[in-house]
Amino acid sequence: MDTAAASLIGMGLAAAGMAGSGIGIGYVFGKMIEAVARQPNAESRVSKYVWIGFALVEAIALYGLVIAFIIMGQAG
Amino acid sequence: MMMISTAIASETAHAAASAAPKLEPLHHFQVQKIVPLSLFGWDISITNSSLWMMISVAAILLFFKMALKNEAKVPGRLQSLAEMGFVFARDLVQDNIGDEGRKYFPLVLALFFFVLFNNLLGLIPGSFTATSQLIVTGTLAIGVFILSVGIGVARHGVGFLKTFAPGGLPLALLPLMIPIEVISFLARPVSLAVRLFANMTAGHTVLGVMIFFTVTLPVWAGVIPLSFAVVLTGVEIFIGFIQAYIFAILTCVYINDAMHMH
């Protein structure tokens, strides 16, 4: 296969990592809404951990972007 | 980092070859020298990245100076904004580290406002987002990492190594757990740096792609990506706040972990 074509496919595949992160972010916020609905006065404490969790999950998807950059650099 | 910069360079060189509007979403992340300087063989040129960092620091100083010029018991709009930021960072430190963390409050406040102003100033068209450079966020993250390790070693001495072996673990699991804990500990500065860098890069790239579609498509169809770009600009402002908050809160969490080992 042509190297340029293969690197384009690789960069596209790197974007597929977003799916997992999407599921994760859905879980994080879904569980937060559930928790706040059960215990409304815990909102400030819950939201702190939610934003940390959101950041951790989101970072995973962005590693995919970094991998795409690396492939782009390799392909030249 | 080098690979990314070569990728960006080849992207722009490629784009310059053709005159028609060309999709070059990574063009505005290119670091350009403005005032070439060198000191003992070190390249310390003022680039557009360092220029915009200086502008954001100047903006922070100006913001607080302006806000506190006429200090009033009943604060005006600008003063309450500055007080909100100040109280926000203070509560962050208080909630996450406790009373002992008060001496790290200036650090957290400075980090929060530096990242926030860089993120927000980067949204002005024609400006440069310094936090979209891995070297900038990496320097901040490694500074936080060295600080947290330093606090841990200064407080607990050799006992700090217990971070890698959580208490109450059966001995048989230790050979498995210690490498995992070491890797996750070393991944902290990497994820702290990459999160901020990748968020800013990704957001601005998407904005660039949307604006490119707006320019190249006929007017009736270009309205759709334009409206996307408007919405995304709002999202980017929100993300700028969230990322500054996360950078500050994770700094607090790491300092707290080093101070009170779990």
Per-position b or e across B221-238, b if 16+ CB within 10 A of its CB: eeeebbebbeebeeebee
Q: What's the mean pLDDT in B171-189?
A: 84
Are the C-beta atoms of B236 and B207 separated by less than 8 Å? Answer: yes
- Nearest residue of A to residue B196, measured between CA atoms: A59
Interface touch B246/A51, C-beta < 8 Å: yes
pLDDT of B102-140, one tens digit each?
A: 888 999 999 999 999 999 998 888 788 888 888 899 999
Residues 6+ away with beta carbon under 8 Å from B13: none
Distances (CA, A) of B101 to A5, B193, B215, B250: 53, 23, 51, 14
What is the rounded distance in angstroms from the CA atom of residue B233 to the CA atom of residue A62? 19
- Nearest residue of B to residue A51, measured between CA atoms: B246
Q: What's the mean pLDDT in B28-52?
A: 77
pLDDT-above-90 percentage for chain B? 16
pLDDT at B18 over 50: no
Q: DSSP of B118-161, one letter per residue?
A: HHHHTTSTT---GGGSHHHHHHHHHHHHHHHHHHHHHHHGGGGG
What is the rounded distance in angstroms from the CA atom of residue B58 to the CA atom of residue B64? 10
Chain B residues closer than 8 Å to A58 by CB: 195, 199
- What distance in Å separates residue B26's CA from the closest CA in chain A? 10
Which is higher by pLDDT, B194 or B74?
B194
pLDDT of B247-257, one tens digit each?
A: 998 899 889 88
Out of A65, A74, A76, closest to residue B202 by CB: A65
Interface touch A69/B4, C-beta < 8 Å: yes
Chain A residues closer than 8 Å to B137 by CB: none
Q: Which of B:222-251 have CB within 8 Å of A?
A: 242-243, 245-246, 249-250
What is the rounded distance in angstroms from the CA atom of residue A38 to the CA atom of residue A41? 9
What is the rounded distance in angstroms from the CA atom of residue B62 to the CA atom of residue B127? 19
What end-to-end distance do the CA atoms of chain B give, in Å? 34
Q: What's the mean pLDDT in B195-217?
A: 85
pLDDT at B12 over 60: no
Out of A62, A69, A73, closest to residue B195 by CB: A62
Are the C-beta atoms of A39 and A13 separated by less than 8 Å? Answer: no
pLDDT score for B10: 52
pLDDT at B13 over 60: no
What is the model's pTM?
A: 0.80
ipTM greater than cut 0.85? no
Interface touch B246/A52, C-beta < 8 Å: yes
Q: Which of B:80-119 have CB within 8 Å of A?
A: 95
Q: Is B3 on the interface with A (CB under 8 A)?
A: yes
Please report the domains of chain A, with CATH numbers, ordered by start residue.
3-75 (1.20.20.10)
Which is higher by pLDDT, B14 or B154?
B154
Chain A residues closer than 8 Å to B198 by CB: 59, 62-63, 65-66
What tokens were used for B246? 């996360």
Interface touch A70/B6, C-beta < 8 Å: no
What is the rounded distance in angstroms from the CA atom of residue A75 to the CA atom of residue B10? 10
Interface touch B199/A62, C-beta < 8 Å: yes
pLDDT at B225 over 80: yes
What tokens were used for A39? 């215990």
Spell out the domain ranges in chain B: 31-259
pLDDT score for B21: 62
Strand partners, B46: B35
pLDDT at B26 over 90: no
Out of A56, A59, A73, closest to residue B4 by CB: A73
Interface touch B201/A65, C-beta < 8 Å: yes
The parts of chain A modelled with pLDDT lower than 50 are: none
Closest CA to B200 of B139, B130, B143, B141: B130
What is the rounded distance in angstroms from the CA atom of residue B232 to the CA atom of residue B239? 10
What tokens were used for A71? 């492939």
pLDDT at B76 over 50: yes
